[in-house]
Amino acid sequence: MTPRLATLVLAVTAFAAPAFAAKGDVEAGKQKSVACQACHGADGNSIDPMYPKLAGQYADYLAHSLHGYRDGTRNNAIMAGFAATLSDQDIADLAAYYSALPSSIDDLSRHLKAK
């Protein structure tokens, strides 16, 4: 294998890795979310603007964020402490759970007029 081909295979594998990541289990995520509820609310819809609403967010975004807190690419002392204890499966489960919840996040769709 040429060095150029090896580099290409490595790059494709690195970008494809998230597709092979663990699948999250909503019920397991619900059980694991107890510690999250103090800040993010029992239903993932925090009423304190200091804490983000997790309910209804994309699972990939939630997982990416938790991985970032765990590996230090996202900086928040509180979240880093919580995320440090999470396995990849824990992260997938929490992401699946919160993404499955109904959200109270407002978007701009109600401001757009139907054409």
The pLDDT > 70 percentage for the chain reads 75
Position 109 scores a pLDDT of 66
Model pTM score:
0.75
pLDDT tens digits along 49-67: 999 999 999 999 999 999 9
pLDDT band at 106 (very low <50, low <70, confident <90, very high): confident
Is 26:95 a contact under the CB 8 Å cutoff? no
- CA nearest neighbour of 52 among 105, 97, 89: 105
Contacts (Cβ under 8 Å, ≥6 apart) of 4: none
- Walk me through the domains of the chain, giving residue ranges and CATH numbers: 22-101 (1.10.760.10)
Give the residue-averaged pLDDT of 26-47: 97
Q: What is the mean predicted confidence (pLDDT) over 2-6? A: 62
